[in-house]
Chains A and B, each alone.
Chain A
Amino acid sequence: MRSTSRRSPLVQVGVTALILSAVLIAITVLTTFAGERVFGRVVTVMLISVVLTVALQVFMGNSGLTSFGHVAFMAIGAYSSLWFTLTPDEKRVTLPDMPQEWLIYGFHTPFLPAVLLAGGVAAVVGGLLGVALVRLRGASFTIATFAFLIIVHSVFLQWEPMTRGSRTVFGIPNLTDLWWALGAAVTAIVVALLFRESSLGLRLRAARDDEDAAASLGVHIAWVRWVAWVLSVFITGAAGALWAHFITTFSPSAFYIAQTFLIVAMLIIGGAGSVSGAVTGAVVVSLSSEALRRLEGWLNTQRTDQTAVGQLIPIELRGFAEIVIAIAMILVLILRPSGIMGGREIGWSQLRRPSGAGRQFAATTEAGTKGD
């Protein structure tokens, strides 16, 4: 039915991927002109956030289920990438409690295989968990993923040989640069768009919109959910590896509720229904929270210097960005539940004949997220 009024899905995927990538490439190139020292850090983190948000979209957007556990896979990816990239000499410094006779101690690979292996570890753990998870629905699913986040957090806090426990790991080589992050973001976008339009993605979205109808048409719901879940946590794990090799010092507390909130906020504000929404959300939230953080810093300096502006501020400002993001998120949920992009992919309306199919599709998407 859908194909009658549309061009080939592959063309649409191509157009959307081109537009989204062009925006990210433009931001990256502008950053290098403006001087990487000033904005390089912000933009790299933004691009990694794009990967994380797109990964979350692969699962949440297509299945309609809410995961609060993805950051656990980011943690798994981040820590396991250390085990793969660090040479034995580096491990002696960074993870001093790791026994030298362990196989992993002597094992190390270049960066790219390490990133893929880290995603693989996340996918294996996620795949095992997923067998059980896909049987749950609604709130039970979300609580179970949240429980998993707490389990991983608590294990990584105690697992001294592999993670240094609650202490910060340091001495990680800075291997992720702007271009690595850009490459990862573009790859994630293409993969997510292809998955969304694949037969599997289509069946998963059918199950999201009407579980019973999809099942009666022969969709194996548990299977399609599982595949999306594994793909999603693989990308999340790989993103964790990139993040670890950019930030270079972190502890398990980096992968907990605050980070979960940030990624979920990005996806919801942009719109979970489309990859374009995920990208938009990640870019908008990253850049605006950076702007807010700078504003906060500037205002606090004004306050300590007791300038005219500074005297208006009664207290030292902290966590300003988080407050604004939380308010923005609540407003989006109330006023525009399908996010900035409204569940649509960018560049589609231009391609489609004015048949109204797009509007219809958006309407079903919204109806589909109605729940009980």
Chain B
Amino acid sequence: MDNLVQYIISSLSLGGLYALMTLGLVVVYGILRLINFAYGELVMVAGYGLLLFGQTAMPWPLVALLSIAVAILVAVLMERVAFRPVRFGSASTMLITSFAVSTLLQNTTLLAISPRPQAVRLPAFFVESVTVGGLRLRVVDLASLAVSILALIVLSILLRRTIIGIALRAAADDFTMTRLLGVRANLIISVAFAVSGLLAGIVAIFWVGRSSLVEPAIGLQPVLIAFIASVVGGMENLKGAVLGGYLLGFLTVGLQTWLPQALLDYRNAILFGIVIVILLLRPEGLIRPAYSRERR
């Protein structure tokens, strides 16, 4: 019983993080049909924000906020400088551009800061744990569980209640129609990238918090996770992204708990094998969109 509760809490905590990662990828894909390989670098940038601002005397909440702001800024800049000029190119042109942006950001960090992993100053609660009803729980797990749920609630209110949020959802459903109704394309795409950067920033705090280290390649794992979860949940579907994220969280913790060690080494191979199978059997993901789309 205790094990089960522990499992559920770990899964919800990791799943929430995965859901935010996936949402950050899908919010851009839904509008631009761009799988942003450089999304992981937004997590990396925020991670280095934590490192650099953390070396000053600023209080930690301010450090975290500034780091998130940096991720948002880089996301919007990335779109303005690299993706906007190729927006009307082919899907593969955009895909390859994002691959180039990813390599560019990673190698620039490598050159400007350091190729080696560096320790990040984190507040004490990241390593503490509490005992609740006989269960030892890590505070950071509880925090990431709470923050991810809070972020999802706030985001869903913004998407449902504000004009820009409604426009964003409309654009994800049918971008051409939304533009015909007078929504400015550049604005909506910038907002989508800003949301993507915001989510990457929040993810970065907890992702870096897990190891308290940053390195130039730290964004790879998050972007891979977001790929898997978005394929599972459906690439064009914001709800699917959240669900895919939580599902992957439960699956990951489950595999870690119950898979024999010999097979655990092949975990990535198994997960990506599942990705290929889902792409073949359910190209729209496990959750189909409400109606079929004309654009492919």
List chain A positions with a Cβ less than 8 A from chain B: 64-66, 68, 132, 135-140, 142-144, 146-148, 150-151, 153-155, 157-158, 257-258, 261, 264-265, 268, 315, 317-320, 322-323, 325-327, 329-330, 333-334, 337, 369-372
Q: Which residues of chain A are near B35, meaning CB under 8 Å?
A: 139, 142-143
Check B151 for interface membership: any CB of A closer than 8 A.
no
Q: How far, in whole Å, are A323 and B276 apart by their CA atoms in the complex?
A: 32
Q: Which 7 A-B pairs have the closest CB atoms?
A: A371-B90, A326-B104, A147-B272, A66-B92, A319-B107, A154-B268, A334-B85
Docked-complex contact A315 and B112, CB < 8 angstroms:
yes
Q: How far, in whole Å, are A261 and B104 apart by their CA atoms in the complex?
A: 11
- Which residue, of B96, B104, B231, has the highest number of chain A Cβ atoms within 10 A? B96
Closest residue of chain A to B82 (Cβ to Cβ) is A330
- The smallest beta-carbon distance between B271 and chain A, in angstroms, is 9
Closest residue of chain A to B110 (Cβ to Cβ) is A319
Docked-complex contact B95 and A140, CB < 8 angstroms:
no
Interface SS of B by simple majority: helix
Q: Which residues of chain B are near A257, meaning CB under 8 Å?
A: 220
- The smallest beta-carbon distance between B86 and chain A, in angstroms, is 5
Q: Which residues of chain B are near A334, meaning CB under 8 Å?
A: 82, 85-86, 97
List chain B positions with a Cβ less than 8 A from chain A: 29, 33, 35, 82, 85-86, 88-93, 95-97, 99-101, 103-104, 107-108, 110-112, 115, 220, 224, 227, 231, 235, 265-269, 272-273, 275-276, 279-280, 283, 295-296
Docked-complex contact B276 and A370, CB < 8 angstroms:
no
Docked-complex contact A155 and B266, CB < 8 angstroms:
yes
Q: Which residues of chain A are near B295, meaning CB under 8 Å?
A: 372
Docked-complex contact B91 and A138, CB < 8 angstroms:
yes
Closest residue of chain B to A155 (Cβ to Cβ) is B269
Q: Which residues of chain B are near A327, meaning CB under 8 Å?
A: 104
Q: Which residues of chain B are near A64, meaning CB under 8 Å?
A: 90, 92
Q: Which residues of chain B are near A320, meaning CB under 8 Å?
A: 111
Q: Which residues of chain B are near A315, meaning CB under 8 Å?
A: 111-112
Known contacts: A136-B280, A319-B107. The answer to whether A143 contacts B227 by CB under 8 A is yes
Docked-complex contact B93 and A148, CB < 8 angstroms:
no
Q: How far, in whole Å, are A137 and B227 apart by their CA atoms in the complex?
A: 16
- The smallest beta-carbon distance between B48 and chain A, in angstroms, is 15
Docked-complex contact B275 and A323, CB < 8 angstroms:
no
Docked-complex contact A333 and B111, CB < 8 angstroms:
no
16 contacts across the A-B interface (CB closer than 8 A)? A138-B92, A146-B227, A147-B272, A151-B269, A153-B268, A154-B269, A154-B272, A318-B111, A322-B107, A323-B111, A326-B100, A330-B101, A333-B96, A369-B89, A371-B89, A371-B93
Q: Which residues of chain B are near A143, meaning CB under 8 Å?
A: 35, 227, 231, 275, 279
- The smallest beta-carbon distance between B33 and chain A, in angstroms, is 6
- Which residue, of B103, B273, B296, has the highest number of chain A Cβ atoms within 10 A? B103
- The smallest beta-carbon distance between A35 and chain B, in angstroms, is 32
Docked-complex contact B92 and A142, CB < 8 angstroms:
yes
